[in-house]
A and B are shown apart, each in its own frame.
Chain A
Amino acid sequence: MKSEYVCVESEHSAMAASIGASASGARTFTATSSHGLAYMHEMLHWASAARLPIVMAVVNRAMGPPWNILPDLNDSLSQRDTGWLQFYCASHQEIFDTIIQAYKICENSRVLLPAMICFEGFVLSHTSMPFTIPDQEDLDSFLPRYQPGWKLDIDNPISHGTLASSDYYMELRYLIQEAMDNARELIPIVGREYAERFGLPYHGDLLEEVSCDDAETLVVTMGSTGSEAKVAVQKMRDNGYKVGLARIRTFRPFPIEEVKRVCGKADAVAVIDRAISSGIGGQLFTEVQSALCDLDERPLAMNFIAGIGGRDITERDVEKMVMHALKCAEKGRVDQRLTWYGLRG
């Protein structure tokens, strides 16, 4: 592969260099985690507003203090409003596939936005799992040479990112929202094309459904907790409980319609957040609630904060949370909107 590797001195510079490289017309990749991502924050805004389709792997780890380094989604959820697409993966195969798919989605002229491929530290970053890598030639034909939407071009000199007054600024932001909506349409199309081309399992939806059709109680979560939840749901189904899993795969664009469609049919919804927006609750919970608000009849919704700072979340834990939701559904009310699962007294 003809490529250049820039060993920068910091994450702020990593994103700045990625912006420069992408603006020069090169396909660009970088990776970061936790405080590194937070340090990039300013440049994350810059990358999306410059409409540069950079793809970045984000290994989700806790923010300090205290130093912790273990899995926690607060790092990337804090970057919610930076204009990046955010994918949350539940397996190694999904991480690999999503990185390839993300280039195809982000480089589309109707999108031109950067994407974070998020996955939890250690649980997914330091473990091994068998997975399939398609042949280079096939990948090249799926993802041909990068054709930039714009680039620094001496034959067409433009000043990119110069001052824009309120006459233009609002419209430029509107276009980003429109691009997010376009990505919403493209994500499943690209996912399906990828699965068909390479004969790999399809995971291209914005929201993955497991046994949702007739489920009375749903667990909603993201990332590797989704893998644990899948096992828990299957086990509970075997024991006769009508439960299902809605795993949010893209936090941005947020699957508003999918959440309404899938969760709208259930009696109760338990949202598990491995993160906390102090002062309100889990970030995923507030987004799910916001989508459900549009419905005339809403399911009971409750939020579990679990696994913060790397505390393990097993399928047993998920099962306990879902059982709690089942009881709420029976009673027809939620005792506690926000529960810190496993909190030590």
Chain B
Amino acid sequence: MMVTLKELPREEYVLPGNASCAGCSTTLSIRLAVKALGKRTIFVVPACCTSVIQGLFPLTSLNIPVLNVAFASAGAAASGVVSGLRAQGVEDITVVSWAGDGGTVDIGIQALSGAAERGTNFIYVCYDNEAYGNTGMQRSGSTPFGAWTTTTPTGKKEQKKNMPLIMAAHKIPYIATLSPSYPTDFVEKFQKAKAIRGTKYLHILVPCPPGWRTDPAMSVELGRLAVQTGVWALFEIEQGVFSLSAPSNPLLEKSRRKPVQLYLEKQGRFRHLTEREMSQIQLNVDEDWEYYRKINQTKICP
């Protein structure tokens, strides 16, 4: 399963001239994801940034079939595509719901939960820029503690919803967290998901320059910092067994993790944080890692 960047297919499924913002790591994620999945892939896209990235009708920047659907419906619409294809005897097409964090952890959670409970044979991808970016950065259930959004002008007071663990409670065969800043880990996880039957849930953290108030040239670097500080842990939950992925595994040792401040201070959305809040976030991350230590290489949600 190991891949190197050189081995990635040369075919491009994200065409030049798409409508994404400068430095958009969602577009980078689509590019890597479809390279990993190949041509026999159908995307089902609810309202999210990717509705815009495709471009204006009658043009499109994605060279695969895409069914755009309403906000709350990605999981269900994909179920329909999977069943419709199966009724026609087609089982070798990978159906992917490609949804943002609002469309996943908030408004789309029911349709996703239903699809997972039915064991729908598809990949559900949540690309998470930690707010409703498409509509101008309103808070979502996936916005982290302390982050500025237009609806949390003094920083969000609540915690980020842990969607991968909510999906683990559905006992689906494969869950993984990803970052496009780690392209080989990213591609391997998509390839693995493609090979497994049933519902697969992939959650990607996507740095968002306009929303996070960051330099568009820094998106890949920020993705790396999110992982290196331990804010975004890369892991898999395969048949219920949690395991930290190669880039994150060494960070079980606290000294190997960079201080979260290095990640937070580069983003305008955290500019207002006090020293105390910054320490609180560090504490929260450390707590998360204590939990990862406990569950690493064990079966969770038995």
User: A20 touching B80 by the CB < 8 A rule?
Assistant: yes
Q: Which residues of A are found within 8 Å of B77, using beta-carbon distances?
A: 16-17, 19-20
Size of A's binding interface in residues, CB under 8 A: 40
Min CB–CB distance B241 → chain A (angstroms): 27
Question: Are A152 and B81 in touch, CB under 8 angstroms?
Answer: yes
Contact, CB under 8 Å: A2 / B87: yes
User: Which of A4-12, A219-227, A323-331 participates in binding chain B?
Assistant: A4-12
Identify which of A126-134, A158-166, A276-284, A306-314 touches chain B.
A158-166
Number of residue pairs across A and B with beta carbons under 8 Å? 161
B118 & A7 in contact (Cβ 8 Å cutoff): yes
| B40 contacts partner chain A, Cβ-Cβ < 8 Å | yes
Knowing A13-B76, A162-B60, the reply to whether A23 touches B67 (Cβ < 8 A) is yes
A19–B68 touching, CB < 8 Å? no
Please classify how large the interface on chain B is, using the bins under 10, 10 to 19, 20 to 34, 35 or more. Answer: 35 or more
Which residues of chain B come closer than 8 Å to A42, judged between CB atoms? 70, 72
Residues of A within 8 A of B80 (CB): 6, 16-24, 28
B64 and A154 contact, CB distance less than 8 A: yes
Considering the complex, give the chain A residue whose CB is closest to the CB of B114.
A9
Which residue in chain A gives the minimum CB-CB distance to B13?
A: A157
Residues of B near A63 (CB, < 8 A) are: none
Q: Which residues of the other chain, B, contact A159 by a CB distance below 8 angstroms?
A: 54-55, 60, 62, 65-66, 68
Task: Indicate if the CB atoms of A163 and B54 lie closer than 8 Å.
Answer: yes
Residues of B within 8 A of A25 (CB): 84-85, 88
Interface presence of B48 (CB below 8 A) = no
| Given A16-B80, A21-B83, A24-B85, A162 and B56 contact (CB-CB distance below 8 Å) | yes
Tell me the nearest residue of chain A to B113, going by C-beta: A9
By the criterion CB–CB under 8 Å, are A157 and B68 in contact?
no
Closest to A162 in B: B54
Which residue of B67, B78, B113 has the most chain A CB atoms within 10 A of its CB atom? B67
Is A336 interfacial (CB-CB < 8 Å)? no
Q: Which of A4, A7, A161, A168 contacts B68 (CB 8 A)?
A: A161
Bound state CA distance, A286 and B67, in angstroms? Answer: 37
A13 touches B70 (CB 8 A): no
Known: A20-B81, A26-B87. A164 touches B56 (CB 8 A): yes
A20 and B55 contact, Cβ closer than 8 Å, known pairs A6-B118, A12-B72, A25-B84: no
Tell me the chain B residues, 81-96 only, with Cβ under 8 Å from chain A. Answer: 81-90, 93
- State A24–B221 Cα separation when bound (angstroms): 39
Residues facing B in A220-250 (CB within 8 A) are: none
Query: Nearest residue in B to A45 (C-beta to C-beta)?
Result: B70
Contact between chains at B65 and A153 (CB < 8 Å): yes
11 A-B pairs within 8 Å (CB atoms) are namely: A8-B76, A10-B76, A17-B79, A20-B77, A21-B84, A26-B85, A46-B70, A157-B63, A159-B65, A160-B68, A168-B58
- The 4 lowest CB-CB distance pairs between A and B, nearest first, are A20-B80, A24-B84, A9-B114, A13-B76
Chain A positions near chain B (C-beta within 8 angstroms): 2-4, 6-10, 12-14, 16-26, 28, 42-43, 46, 152-154, 156-165, 168
